[in-house]
C-alpha cells in the first residue's frame, strides 16, 4: 500500500563545498522544487536533518534558518538528529505526516559539512564523529567510528571467515559505480590491491575501506498518495521501518547482527507486503566496507555469513543479481552525514523512474534504502516502488 | 515513596567510575529476572524492572572483538587497541594493552583487568592486558 509518494528530488555534488549550510541546502531544495514543479507556496511543512552543525560550525536552530533561505518561512519546520540516520528519520516522519493527513506536501532534506572547509581537520572531525558513541562507557577508551565498525566487522570475520579481500571488493565495486555518478565525491576506479595497500585506519579497515568526509545536501518533495497523481513521475513509498538497538556496543547481544536493521527491515517488508527476494536493488549504509557486508545480510539479500563471498563474486554489482549501492554508496558518492539518508531516497527515485543515466539498472520496480545511525543503534529502512 | 533515590545513585555512572578507580568493574544485575549488563542502566532491558543492583564483574575475561586504532581523535595518541571484553555474562569496552614483545591482541585471547586510564577531561576507562601464556 502506498503510504506517500516522492514527486521531486534534488541534490548537490558530494565533495568539498565552500558554501554555508543554508546556501548549500538551497541548491538541493530548489532543484527538488523544480523537479516536482512546485513553488514554496505549495509546501506545507519542512522536515530537515543535520547531525553535527552545532559542533562543526557553531550553527544550530537550523530549521527556520534554512526554511527562510528556501522561501518556507512560516511553515512548521523541524530538525532531526540521529547521527548518520538523521535525514532518513526526517523522511520517515514526513511520510507519516502526509499519510495521517497532517500535511499534504512536505519538503524533506538534509545538509552537512564535514570537510576541512569547516575549519576542522581529521583529528577534530574524528572526535566529533565519536560523539555518537557512548560518552561515558566508550569515548574515554579512544574509540573512533572506524573503530566501532571495525569491532562489528572483526566479529563477523571471526564468526564467518569474511576476509579483507572480500571487504576490498565492496570498495572496488562502489568506486566503479561512482564513476557513473556525476555527483559522486570520488569518480575514479580502484583495485583490491590498492585498497589493501592503503594505510590502516582501524584494522581491518584500510583508508580505502572508509567513506570520505564530505560536504553536501539532498532534498525531496513528499506528497500524499491522493495528490501524487497530479505530479509527473511520482515514486511510491510503501514501507518505512525504524528500530533501535542497545547502546553502547557492549550491551548488544550479537555485535555483528546489526539487530536494528533486521527489525526495521521486517517492519518495512510487512508494510510493503513483500519479501527481500522481491526487492530489485538496495542503497545501503556503507560508511565502511564491512558495514555493507553486514547490511546486505541484515536486509535479507544474503544468508548470514554470505555477504562477503557475494561481494567477491560480483553479485552486488550493477550487473549482478542483487545490486547494492548503484550510486556508489557512501564509499564513493560521499557521506555528508545529515544529507545521506535523503540522498539514498534520491537514488531510489531516479532508478525507479529510469533516470539514473550510466548507472541505470535494468527496469527496476522496487528498491530499498538502509540508513544506519551511530553504532548501529538506529536504522531506518525505506521501500519504494515504481508507479505502474 | 516508591523508589529509593540513594539506591538508584548507587548503580549509576558515578559509582561505576569510582569503582573503576578502585580497581573494580561494576555492572548491574536485575533482581527480578537476573539479566546482567556490563554498564549501568536504570531500567532492565529484558523485563522492564527498575530493581537493578550493582555487581562486581570478573576481572578476567576474553576478547569478544578488538581493533587497532591508527587514526585517533583529538586528545588521544595512536596507535592503540580498543576491544570489547567478555567478563562473565557481560561485556565491557576497554583499552587493550599487550607486553611489548607480544603479538597483537586477537579475538578469544585471555585478558585481565590491569588498571584505569583517564582522558584529559577526567573520564576513566578500563584497561585490560593480554595474558602471556
Which one-letter DSSP state was computed for residue A82? Answer: B
Residue A272's pLDDT band, with cuts at 50, 70 and 90, is: very high
A250 → closest Cβ in B78, B84, B107: B84
| pTM for this predicted structure | 0.97
Smallest Cβ–Cβ distance between B92 and the set A147, A152, A250 belongs to A250
Q: Which has more pLDDT, A205 or A1?
A: A205
Taking only residues 108 to 147 of chain A, the set having a beta carbon closer than 8 angstroms to any beta carbon of chain B reads: 122-124, 126-127, 130, 134-144, 146-147
CB pairs under 8 A between A and B: 116
Spatial separation of the C-alpha atoms in residues A25 and A10, rounded to whole Å: 10
A137 with B68: Cβ contact below 8 A: no
Q: Is B72 in contact with A137 (Cβ distance < 8 A)? A: no
Q: What is the pLDDT of residues B82-121, one digit of tens each?
A: 999 999 999 999 999 997 667 899 999 999 999 999 999 9
A211 an active-site residue? no
What is the bridge-based pairing of β-strands B90-97 and B52-56? Answer: unpaired
Interval A319-351: pLDDT, tens: 999 999 999 999 999 999 999 999 999 999 999
How large is the angle between the packed helices A289-298 and A145-160, nearest 10 degrees? 60
Nearest-CA distance from A341 to chain B in Å?
A: 25
Q: How far is CA B32 from the centre of its chain?
A: 23
A84 is catalytic: yes
CB contact under 8 A, B117 and A134: no
Residue A238: all three cell numbers together: 510503501
CB A385 within 8 A of CB A96: no
Marked catalytic residue, from A156, A206, A335, A370: A335
- Using left for φ > 0, alpha for ψ between -120 and 50, and beta otherwise, residue A47 falls in beta
Q: Do A125 and A119 contact (CB within 8 A), yes or no?
A: no
pLDDT over threshold 50, residue B14? yes
Answer for the pair A380, A264: CB distance below 8 angstroms, yes or no: yes
Specify whether the CB–CB gap between A347 and A306 falls below 8 A.
no
Cβ-proximal residues to B68 (8 Å cutoff; 6+ apart), any chain: A200, A202, A203, B79, B80, B81, B104
Instruction: Supply the pLDDT for residue A253.
Output: 95
Q: Judge: A151–B13 Cβ closer than 8 Å, yes or no.
A: no
Q: What is the pLDDT of residues A150-185, one digit of tens each?
A: 999 999 999 999 999 999 999 999 999 999 999 999
Is residue A253 less than 8 Å (CB to CB) from chain B? no
Pairing mode, strands B124-130 and B90-97: parallel
ipTM value, please give it: 0.95
Catalytic choice (A84, A210, A211, A287)? A84
Amino acid at each position: 500500500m502506498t503510504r506517500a509518494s516522492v514527486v521531486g528530488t534534488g541534490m548537490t555534488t558530494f565533495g568539498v563545498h565552500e558554501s554555508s549550510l543554508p546556501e548549500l541546502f538551497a541548491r538541493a531544495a530548489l532543484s527538488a522544487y523544480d523537479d516536482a514543479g512546485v513553488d514554496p507556496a505549495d509546501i506545507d511543512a519542512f522536515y530537515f536533518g543535520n547531525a553535527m552543525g552545532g559542533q562543526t560550525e557553531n550553527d544550530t536552530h537550523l530549521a527556520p534558518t534554512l526554511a527562510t533561505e528556501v522561501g518556507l518561512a512560516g511553515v512548521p519546520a523541524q530538525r532531526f538528529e540521529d547521527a548518520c540516520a538523521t535525514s532518513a528519520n526526517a523522511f520517515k516522519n514526513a511520510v507519516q505526516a502526509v499519510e495521517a493527513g497532517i500535511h499534504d506536501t512536505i519538503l524533506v532534506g538534509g545538509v552537512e559539512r564535514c570537510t576541512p572547509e569547516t575549519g576542522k581537520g581529521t583529528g577534530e572531525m574524528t572526535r566529533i564523529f565519536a560523539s555518537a558513541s557512548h560518552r561515558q562507557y566508550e569515548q574515554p577508551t579512544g574509540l573512533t567510528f572506524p573503530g566501532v565498525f571495525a569491532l562489528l566487522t572483526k566479529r563477523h570475520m571471526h564468526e564467518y571467515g569474511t576476509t579483507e579481500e572480500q571487504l576490498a571488493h565492496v570498495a572496488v565495486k562502489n568506486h566503479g559505480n561512482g564513476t557513473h555518478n556525476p555527483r559522486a565525491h570520488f569518480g575514479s576506479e580502484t583495485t583490491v590491491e590498492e585498497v589493501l595497500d592503503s594505510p590502516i585506519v582501524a584494522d581491518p579497515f584500510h583508508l580505502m575501506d572508509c567513506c570520505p568526509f564530505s560536504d553536501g545536501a539532498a532534498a525531496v518533495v513528499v506528497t500524499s498518495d491522493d495528490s501524487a497523481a497530479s505530479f509527473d513521475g511520482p515514486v511510491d513509498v510503501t514501507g518505512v521501518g525504524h528500530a533501535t538497538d542497545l547502546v553502547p556496543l557492549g550491551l548488544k547481544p550479537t555485535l555483528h547482527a546489526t539487530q536494528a536493521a533486521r527489525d526495521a527491515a521486517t517492519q518495512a517488508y510487512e508494510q510493503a507486503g513483500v519479501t527481500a527476494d522481491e526487492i530489485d536493488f538496495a542503497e545501503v549504509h556503507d560508511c565502511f566496507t564491512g558495514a555493507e557486508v553486514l547490511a546486505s545480510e541484515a536486509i535479507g539479500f544474503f544468508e548470514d555469513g554470505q555477504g562477503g563471498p557475494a561481494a567477491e563474486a560480483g553479485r552486488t554489482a550493477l550487473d549482478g543479481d542483487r545490486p547494492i549501492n548503484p550510486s556508489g554508496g557512501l564509499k564513493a558518492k560521499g557521506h555528508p552525514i545529515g544529507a545521506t539518508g535523503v540522498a539514498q531516497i534520491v537514488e531510489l527515485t531516479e532508478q525507479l523512474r529510469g533516470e539514473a543515466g550510466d548507472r541505470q539498472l535494468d527496469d527496476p520496480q522496487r528498491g530499498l534504502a538502509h540508513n544506519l545511525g551511530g553504532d548501529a543503534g538506529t536504522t531506518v529502512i525505506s521501500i519504494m516502488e515504481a508507479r505502474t | 515513596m516508591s523508589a529509593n533515590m540513594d539506591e538508584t545513585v548507587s548503580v549509576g555512572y558515578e559509582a561505576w567510575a569510582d569503582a573503576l578507580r578502585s580497581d573494580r568493574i561494576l555492572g548491574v544485575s536485575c533482581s527480578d529476572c537476573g539479566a546482567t549488563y556490563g554498564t549501568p542502566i536504570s531500567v532492565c532491558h529484558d523485563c522492564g524492572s527498575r530493581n537493578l543492583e550493582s555487581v562486581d564483574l570478573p576481572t578476567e575475561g576474553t576478547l569478544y572483538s578488538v581493533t587497532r586504532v591508527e587514526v585517533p581523535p583529538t586528545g588521544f595518541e595512536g596507535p592503540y587497541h580498543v576491544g570489547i571484553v567478555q567478563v562473565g555474562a557481560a561485556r565491557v569496552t576497554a583499552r587493550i594493552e599487550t607486553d611489548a614483545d607480544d603479538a597483537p591482541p586477537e579475538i578469544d585471547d585471555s585478558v585481565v583487568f590491569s588498571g584505569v586510564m583517564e582522558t584529559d577531561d577526567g573520564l576513566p576507562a578500563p584497561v585490560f592486558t593480554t595474558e602471556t601464556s
